[in-house]
A and B are shown apart, each in its own frame.
Chain A
Amino acid sequence: MSTSQSLVTTLKGTNVELDFHKIKKNLKDFLSAQDQFVDYNFEASGISILLDVLAYNTQMNAMTAHLALNELFLDSAQARPNVVSLAKQLGYLTRSVGSATATINLTVVPPFSYTSTSLTIPADIMFSGGGLSWYTASTYTTTKNGNGNFYFSNVILREGRRKVVRYYYDVRRSYPKFEIPDRDVDTSTIKVRVKETEKSTIYTTYRPFTYFSAIDDTTPVYFMEENALGLYEVYFTGGDIGISPSEGNIIEIEYIYSNGAAANGISVFKTDYIFTKAGESQIVRATASATGGRDKESADSIRFNAPYYFEAQNRCVSFNDYAAVIRREIPQVESINVWGGESNVPAEFGRVYIAIKPAGGLVIDNALKQYIINSVLRPKAVATISPRIIDAEYTYIGLDIESRYNPANTTNSSQAIADIIKNATIAFSNKYLNVFEGPFRYSKFLAAIDNSEVSIENTIARVYLIKKIFAYANQENEFFLTVPTEFYDFDADDAIIRSSIFRLNNISHYLIDQKDETDPNRRQLVLMFISTEGDQVVQDVDVGYIDLIGKIVYIYGFRPDTDTTISIYVNPKSYDIVPIRNQIISVDPNEVTVSVLSDYIETNIYPGTVRANATPRNITKFERG
């Protein structure tokens, strides 16, 4: 065979090709340099069939090598079982489905014949809500109140269904593993009990392995991991570390399997359970919608978390350690931020601050905070450092969006485009905001709007910040609000912040700011009222101030007529809003206005002759609210 170039030179790309046709083309290129067989270009020829076999074989080998190598590393593995297996080598246990919790106040009105003065709600009483099952998380007891009712406050319900699986411990298998047959198990609810024989009534309760120093050779401890099928397995040490079940023992694994994130937001619950006697009536009120439900950890999340967890080594030393440990132990966490007390305002040395946003909710409840500090962090934290969990502080973004569109490029009406823009705004918020360290990038936002509909030519959006406060009636209210960006203009003659209207002494009032002539770094807050004639009059000049340097709004000393939510609108200096520490930014859909106009340039026959009516960047007077 006469060749003008070597096989290696011609086929040098073949080994890295993964595409069948490219491999075959490389082989044809090689054959083009010889004259022994020239029919390779005809698909029906024998040499072409041989090339197919060669190319197929090469492609299979290349793909196998490519996939095998990629699946060997945590960064590049795609198949979830492989990601889980690689994370296992780092000592990382994947996060299971997290069941949502809801807090309710329950009033039980017993029939007259029920004479007991105290009532206990057992754990695991089933409630229903949103088509799902909920269980009381623990036991609650109360006494009869003055009305003859039993009132239980802050009863915690957990979503899911309880299940028990039983296994026979067979010593013939070395290190047997006991599979939990539900993929949706919440591993934080798993309880492992072992009894001697089928007829025994005495159980030994095993506890999950945490770290070696916590166990000795008499500690009943179990281990857990996720297997290749995505199911969790419980296994024991075989007697090497802690105690292990022995031949013939019965292992009971009790757990809750739940619907994860689907249960978030449910707020109506009821139960058929009779707490006292037939004839009783019940009033169930949720104090907040259900939160904390999370789906099983994704491969992407495992890829991100496992190295941090390994770095933390089950100890809380650096900021990342705290985040990694809490993320692993608490499935309800959607977003977390940790910073040292020295970075806090005001600085507080010897502390670590942790802000947590739960899935499907805004803040986590106090019971969970206590659990995280006492059971999750304290055993792993440096002794002299005291962790403190604080709630996320939300700053909402309001938007006045004005888009120009070319009607020739779309069949959508301007109203339909406005709806599309509003949905794109909400989608942008869900994708980039609503988490700690999730900044609002103005140009990215405009690009998202411009790309939301094909006919949109350009967009202008004015950005406002909104702080929401809940003021109680008939008491002095005090608020300390931090704003994630500088205020629009320190020396503005007009207001740079303004509140929504609330009723005070049966008259409409609002808050507004004005220059403080004595201090250039402050602006004074003023309480205004709107008279029956519509005049806006200063009522009080001593209701708070704005700290322009510290980016703080301090409000004190006003009493609305009723409990009311008041929005404080802020005109920011920059349209890029960057949250820090416990701040979270979110777009409030109720504060988004959209106007869509046909574009002047595209719709005018002689666009170069008349000046376009462009949208002003800033309005002359800040009157939002």
Chain B
Amino acid sequence: MEEDIIQTQLLSYHNRETLNVYEDIFARDQIYKDLDLRLIPHPLTGNINPLEEAKAVIRALYNLVMTETRERFFNMEFGCPIGGLLFNLHQVNTLDIQDQIKRSIELFEPRAVVQDIVIDNRPDENAIEITIYFTIANLTPEVFEVRLSRTR
């Protein structure tokens, strides 16, 4: 009997490792809390306050969209392969961008459930404005906007 219990615990641990985040999302017992990499101190306390709930997820989406694939060591798939499109803005296919962003979010940010992605191509400004409408699992709907612009 004791062996059975140990076995069950091992399996449970194994599942958690392989299936990972979904278990956290749908049966979470704590709020999302992340470090703000902008490291802006609080004007009164001077502390770096953690980002919580929606803000944490929005910041994660920003990190994801602004990271080019093959940029992260040992995790080449991570990111969104849309940076290269900025150099060919006249031929940008908005459907492609939507697909890429949606796929990346599904793979790497399962907390966000995408409702819509709006692409506003602005070739004169060498930029694309991307608006992502999404809900956070177990929370109210959110909107996240990001502007991609060429730096060279």
Please give the residue numbers on chain A whose beta carbons come within 8 Å of chain B beta carbons, in ascending order: 20-21, 35-39, 41-47, 49-50, 52, 55-56
The 8 listed contacts between A and B (C-beta, < 8 Å) are A38-B34, A41-B21, A43-B75, A43-B78, A44-B63, A46-B34, A46-B60, A50-B37
Q: Is the CB of B30 within 8 A of A44?
A: no
> A180 → chain B, closest Cβ, in Å?
42
Per a CB cutoff under 8 Å, which of A20, A44, A47, A50 touches B109? A44
Knowing A52-B73, A56-B74, say if A38 contacts B35 (CB, 8 Å).
Answer: no
Report Cα–Cα, A36/B73, bound state, in Å: 26
Q: Is the CB of A49 within 8 A of B63?
A: yes
Grouping DSSP codes into helix (H, G, I), strand (E, B) and loop, the B interface class, with mixed when no group exceeds half, is loop
Q: Is the CB of B33 within 8 A of A35?
A: yes
Please, which residues of chain A bring their CB within 8 A of the CB of B50?
A: 36-37
Q: Is the CB of A45 within 8 A of B56?
A: yes
- Cβ-based interface call for B64 (8 A): yes
Report Cα–Cα, A52/B76, bound state, in Å: 12
Contact pattern, B 17-36, Cβ under 8 Å of A = 1, otherwise 0: 00011001000001111111
B interface, how many residues as a size bin? 20 to 34
Which chain A residue has the least Cβ–Cβ distance from B37?
Answer: A46
Q: Is the CB of B20 within 8 A of A20?
A: no
Knowing A36-B50, A42-B60, A45-B56, say if A56 contacts B73 (CB, 8 Å).
Answer: yes
Report Cα–Cα, A50/B67, bound state, in Å: 14
> A265 → chain B, closest Cβ, in Å?
49
Q: Is the CB of A42 within 8 A of B74?
A: no
Please, which residues of chain A bring their CB within 8 A of the CB of B32?
A: 38-39
Please, which residues of chain B bring their CB within 8 A of the CB of A20?
A: 73-74
Q: Is the CB of A39 within 8 A of B56?
A: yes
Please, which residues of chain B bring their CB within 8 A of the CB of A47?
A: 34-35
- Cβ-based interface call for B108 (8 A): yes
Grouping DSSP codes into helix (H, G, I), strand (E, B) and loop, the A interface class, with mixed when no group exceeds half, is helix
Which chain B residue has the least Cβ–Cβ distance from A21?
Answer: B74
- Cβ-based interface call for B90 (8 A): no
Report Cα–Cα, A45/B36, bound state, in Å: 9
> A56 → chain B, closest Cβ, in Å?
5
Which of A35, A39, A44 has the most B CB atoms < 10 Å from its CB? A44
Contact pattern, B 110-141, Cβ under 8 Å of A = 1, otherwise 0: 11000000000000000000000000000000
- Cβ-based interface call for B51 (8 A): yes
Please, which residues of chain B bring their CB within 8 A of the CB of A43?
A: 64, 75, 78, 108-109
Which of A20, A36, A46, A55 has the most B CB atoms < 10 Å from its CB? A46
Please, which residues of chain B bring their CB within 8 A of the CB of A38?
A: 30-34
> B82 → chain A, closest Cβ, in Å?
15
Which chain B residue has the least Cβ–Cβ distance from A19?
Answer: B74
- Cβ-based interface call for B54 (8 A): no
B window 1-60: CB within 8 A of A: 20-21, 24, 30-37, 50-51, 56, 59-60
Which chain A residue has the least Cβ–Cβ distance from B64?
Answer: A44
Please, which residues of chain B bring their CB within 8 A of the CB of A56?
A: 73-74
> B31 → chain A, closest Cβ, in Å?
8
Q: Is the CB of A37 within 8 A of B34?
A: yes
Which chain A residue has the least Cβ–Cβ distance from B105?
Answer: A44
Please, which residues of chain A bring their CB within 8 A of the CB of B37?
A: 46, 49-50
Knowing A49-B63, A52-B72, A56-B74, say if A37 contacts B35 (CB, 8 Å).
Answer: yes
Report Cα–Cα, A41/B109, bound state, in Å: 10
Q: Is the CB of A45 within 8 A of B74?
A: no
- Cβ-based interface call for B101 (8 A): no
Q: Is the CB of A42 within 8 A of B33?
A: no
Knowing A42-B109, A42-B111, A46-B37, say if A35 contacts B60 (CB, 8 Å).
Answer: no
Q: Is the CB of B60 within 8 A of A45?
A: yes
Per a CB cutoff under 8 Å, which of B20, B51, B75, B78 touches A41? B20
Please, which residues of chain B bring their CB within 8 A of the CB of A36?
A: 33, 50
Report Cα–Cα, A546/B32, bound state, in Å: 90
Please, which residues of chain B bring their CB within 8 A of the CB of A21?
A: 74
Please, which residues of chain B bring their CB within 8 A of the CB of A49?
A: 37, 63
10 other A-B residue contacts (CB within 8 Å) besides A36-B50, A44-B108, A50-B37: A38-B33, A38-B34, A42-B21, A42-B109, A44-B63, A44-B109, A46-B59, A52-B72, A52-B73, A52-B74
Please, which residues of chain A bring their CB within 8 A of the CB of B31?
A: 38
Which chain B residue has the least Cβ–Cβ distance from A39?
Answer: B34
- Cβ-based interface call for B61 (8 A): yes
Which chain A residue has the least Cβ–Cβ distance from B74?
Answer: A20
Report Cα–Cα, A45/B61, bound state, in Å: 8
Which chain B residue has the least Cβ–Cβ distance from A23?
Answer: B74
Report Cα–Cα, A52/B31, bound state, in Å: 23
Per a CB cutoff under 8 Å, which of B34, B73, B75 touches A45? B34
